[in-house]
Amino acid sequence: MSEVLVLIDHVEGAVRKPTYELLTIAKRLGEPSAVFIGPADQASDVAEKVKKYGAEKVYVVDDSQIKGYLVAPKAEALQQLAEKAQSNGGVAAILIPSTAEGKEVAGRLSIKLESGLITDAVDVQEGPVTTQSVFAGNYTVTAKVTHGTPIITVKPNSAAPEESEGAGTVEEFSATISDAAKTAQIVASQPRQATGRPELTEAAIVVSGGRGTGGNFEPVENLADAIGGAVGASRAAVDSGWIPHTFQIGQTGKTVSPQLYVATGISGAIQHRAGMQTSKTIVAVNKDEEAAIFELVDFGVVGDLHTVLPALTEEVTKRKG
Ligand code: FAD
């Protein structure tokens, strides 16, 4: 069976959930091989994690000559690895997380391998045939790469990770990085301040605030903390400068698909829906009973969020005891 290369999404060796989603998808297409570009001394830990989701092989590319640079060396390393795997038994597809970095790596790789590229897939089935949700979720497009090795970037939450034991055989791969790939160097980096909340795109619960918050996100944050959720926002809240863009959900923000999405003070514009409409259970709090968001919800509360959210938070906290 041909290999399916999956680029591991990780922060300092901590594997992020989209990797497990990609491995789950990879199993539909061929034999999953995870690619770890990172410190070699973390490889065995990473291999233990990804083999639980079906990785038969774990290619390790030590990043000591890569990590000081932006994405070009990663694309070069992946190219060399894909060419080697291609000559060994074939590569059915290369799956990459749809992050900003992932998409840049994928774009560069597609040129290097002269292969077709599909970005922001929300589903990938045998073929591989991809599904994309475009024009603010108004159209669903199915597509297929017709030339070269299909390179596909997949949005987070596009598959439920399924555990299945793979061999997890570690293979070191030594890439030769050209000077041309080292022309953009990282001069400083600092980790984002930890909020103690789950990462927005991976969270099982998201509580979002919109213009209706009037700029006071405290009730939204308090509810999120009480139920272990992440905080999100509409573009109106972001554009008003109440909360950074990294919290924005929607067409021009992040896509989330949690078990529970609580929209508060958000009208439910099509562009916002595009980023949250696949959530399993949707709850809205809005003082306008005609608000479009109520068309989507499983449970709706017509009321002022500044009254409803503190009451809800208090009740949750009381019951948690
Ligand atoms: P509003 O539409 O103003 O709604 C506020 C809601 O809060 C109202 O329904 C009101 O009844 C309610 N409310 C007011 N006070 C209270 C209160 N005290 N308690 C309870 N409810 C209250 N938007 C996004 O969110 N994400 C995107 O990625 C995005 N991308 C876009 C891309 C393009 C190209 C364009 C043109 C627009 C995009 N937008 C996006 C903007 C989108 O069209 C809406 O303008 C935006 O989502 C509105 O945000 P909102 O619901 O917070 O504000």
In the structure encoding, which two tokens stand for residue 5, read together?
């290369």
Please indicate whether residue 54, judged by its CB atom, sits closer than 6 Å to ligand 1. no
For residue 306, pLDDT beyond 90: yes
∠ Cα 309 313 321 (to 5°): 170
Q: How confident is the model at residue 107 (pLDDT cuts 50, 70, 90)?
A: very high
Q: Where are the beta strands (DSSP E) in the chain?
A: 3-7, 10-11, 14-15, 31-38, 57-62, 91-97, 117-125, 129-134, 139-144, 151-154, 169-172, 205-209, 230-233, 260-264, 281-286, 299-302
Average pLDDT, the chain: 94
In the structure encoding, which two tokens stand for residue 147, read together?
């030339």
DSSP assigned state of 114:
T
pLDDT at 192: 75
- By C-alpha distance, which of 254, 257, 246 is closest to 272? 254
Neighbours of 120 (CB within 10 A): 16
Q: What is the pLDDT of residues 217-260, one digit of tens each?
A: 999 999 999 999 999 999 999 999 999 999 999 989 998 888 99
Say if residues 158 and 21 touch (Cβ distance below 8 Å). yes
Kindly list the structural domains of the chain, giving each domain's residue range(s) and its CATH number in brackets, ordered by start.
Answer: 3-182 (3.40.50.620), 205-320 (3.40.50.1220)
Crossing angle (nearest 10°) for helices 218-226 and 305-320: 20
In the chain, what is the straight-line distance between the N-terminal and C-terminal CA atoms, in Å?
Answer: 53
pLDDT at 134: 82
Q: What is the pLDDT of residues 5-33, one digit of tens each?
A: 999 999 888 999 999 999 999 999 999 99
Label residue 29 exposed, middle or buried (CB < 10 Å: 0-12, 13-18, 19+). Answer: buried
Q: Hey, which of 242, 286, 304 would you mutate to test ligand 1's pocket, going by the most ligand atoms within 8 Å of its Cβ?
A: 286
Please indicate whether residue 10, judged by its CB atom, sits closer than 6 Å to ligand 1. no
Q: Ligand 1: distance of its center to the CA of 228 in Å?
A: 24
DSSP assigned state of 268:
-
DSSP assigned state of 249:
B
Where helices occur in 202-265 by DSSP H, the ranges are 218-226, 235-239
